[in-house]
Amino acid sequence: MAEFLGDFTTPAGRFAIVAGRFNALVGEALVSGCRDALARHGVAASSVDLAWVPGSFEIPLVAQTMAASGRYQAVICLGCVIRGETPHFDMVAGQAAAGVMRASLETGVPVIFGILTTDTVDQALNRAGLKAGNKGADAAMAAIEMVNLLAALARG
């Protein structure tokens, strides 16, 4: 029985980050954590492209476009949707998640879901580096691991 694992060695190639500007304080912290984690694992800053979109709902289209371009080993999606007083949260968060998954499945490129879905601003800030680590960094690590796992699967 074969067992396949991804690791955290520096993969060759380029990475893309797609980030939502809405809730910019949180989004910028996620991007910073993502870039830092990529750099700490040997990915040169010149090998990382960043596309800003208006909000989390717009992330999947740009992520799919970048993934389908053939230029990137992985696309990392970062944003923040904070629950409000209307059902808007459920629609945006659900569709963003479904769109990110669809982009990955349709392109065969790891498209990583790093979009925070929180009840409060404090929860979002905590997950963007204030208290509970930085989910942007976690998304970068997932991207590296998935790139290396897919390479291992291709080698058989």
Residues belonging to the active site? 88
Rounded to 10 degrees, the C-alpha dihedral 88/65/70/102 comes to: 40
What string of H, E and C letters represents the secondary structure of 7-43?
A: CCCCCCCEEEEEEECCCHHHHHHHHHHHHHHHHHCCC
